[in-house]
Amino acid sequence: MENQEKSSALYFRDFRLFWLSQLISLSGTWMQAVAQGWLVYSLTKSPFYLGMVAAASTLPILLFTLIGGIAADRFRKRNLLIATQALSIAPALMLGIFTDTGVITVYQVIFFAFFLGTVNAFDMPARQSFVIEMVGKGHLLNAIALNSAAFNGARLIGPVFAGLAIAYLGLPSCFYLNAASFIPVIIALSMIKAKGEIRNTQEGFLRDLAEGFYFIRRQRNILYMIILIAVFSLFGIPFISFLPVFAEEIFKAGPTGLGFLVSATGLGALSAALLLAFKGDMRNKLRFMSLSGLCFSLALLCASFSRVFAVSLLLLIMAGWGIVSFLATANSFIQLSTPDNLRGRVMSVYSFVFLGFTPIGNFLMGIMSERIGTTNTVGAAALVCLAGASIFAIKHMNDN
């Protein structure tokens, strides 16, 4: 039992503080996401503005994440994370005050979404590359899986709390609670002994940026993973945005059915994260990634043709399991294969492709859906994912 406990990243005091505080903060983040969507639709009654707010929150990922990677390599990651968490309080608090006083407009929401997205563009590379400095290489996959479990667990908890808070405390309470949820993270980070390595350099910005890309280009396994992540982000992950169409037009299940479809994806993602957390490190990461990538693509393809609600739920559980299994293992593989002085920049490319390409995929699939229908679009996109996953599997199925 003692050895089993020590195999978990939670055995490390620094990571334990970090993980518990993140669970609180992520629940607040999901509360704000639900409340913000409700607020925007209440103000505008327009899906267009919902898309505008989503774009404003993700555009900074495309614009600034690579710069955030350079910052993660040049400054102490713990201090950088304390700064990003402190800055994240401001938009949540201002949204609460403006909503509470009745002066909120959709344009203010768009501005705050862009501000928070910019903060996140610097937060993510530092957060990703800081984990290994808290737990070491031997516990990295377990730590990444536990972080994923916290994220997906909060995705189930946060919206429930948001609904209760809106009903009993009012809409602004969700923003106030999210602002307060960053305080435990700041306290935990200030108590963490690991601070993160810094790199003294006289190199310029472009040279720093090119160094990260050059490393990825030379490491073929990492390059292929980044390419497949780009394919999944453009053509696979955006499928969740189109689940309302399946719920309403295919299954005639309404909002309740939509909730089940979204929850099925979340359940699969959470089960993958917990499985990886309990399993710990594995020897055949490339083979596991090949299988999980194929699982995601095949499940998504079958779900696009399914007309049986229960079958679709099962397929979405499989899709959620596959994508999180692939991404968490790829995250671990990339970090373990990257030198300490490059990790921030390499992980910024990972974040740039993973999160930055998804809104582009939403846009492209939205245009296709208008022309050929949503089910045909998701099916075609799943075929692209399957082709990419198959090529990856052919190259790596027998590798260790």
Dihedral class, residue 399 (left if φ above 0, else alpha if ψ from -120 to 50, else beta): beta
Average pLDDT over every residue of 172-179: 95
Residue 1 has pLDDT above 60, yes or no: no
The distance of Cα 46 from the centroid of its chain, to the nearest Å, equals: 26
3-class secondary structure, 219: coil
pLDDT at 2: 42
Average pLDDT over every residue of 266-283: 82
* Percentage above 90 pLDDT, the chain: 41
Residue 123 has pLDDT above 60, yes or no: yes
Dist CA 128 CA 156 (whole Å): 22
Average pLDDT, rounded, for the chain: 86
pLDDT tens by residue, 381-393: 999 999 999 999 9
Which residues, at least 6 apart from 291, have a Cβ–Cβ distance to it below 8 Å?
A: 393
Please give the torsion angle defined by the CA atoms of residues 298, 301, 302 and 307, in that order, rounded to the nearest 10 degrees: 160
pLDDT tens by residue, 46-76: 767 776 787 788 888 888 988 888 888 888 8
pLDDT tens by residue, 178-200: 999 999 999 999 999 876 666 65
DSSP string over 241-305? GGHHHIIIIIS--HHHHHHHHHHHHHHHHHHHHHHHHHH---S-HHHHHHHHHHHHHHHHHHHHH
Residue 146 has pLDDT above 60, yes or no: yes
Dist CA 141 CA 118 (whole Å): 27
Closest CA to 106 of 161, 44, 167: 44
pLDDT at 225: 94
Dist CA 27 CA 263 (whole Å): 16
In the chain, DSSP finds a helix count (H) and a strand count (E) of: 15, 0
Q: Are 208 and 73 in contact (CB under 8 A)?
A: yes
Q: Which has more pLDDT, 86 or 153? A: 86
Q: Are 344 and 76 in contact (CB under 8 A)?
A: no
Handedness of CA 269, 270, 275, 277 (dihedral sign): positive
Q: Which has more pLDDT, 89 or 267? A: 89
Which residue bears the tokens 């501005």? 111
Angle between the N-to-C axes of helices 106-135 and 309-336, in degrees from 0 to 180, rounded to the nearest 10:
60
Q: Which has more pLDDT, 361 or 392? A: 392
- Enumerate domains of the chain plus CATH numbers: 1-200 (1.20.1250.20), 204-400 (1.20.1250.20)
Q: Which has more pLDDT, 85 or 260? A: 85
pLDDT at 220: 87
pLDDT tens by residue, 10-39: 889 999 999 999 999 998 998 888 888 888
Dist CA 50 CA 369 (whole Å): 18
pLDDT at 33: 84
Name the band, by pLDDT with cuts 50, 70 and 90, for residue 203: low
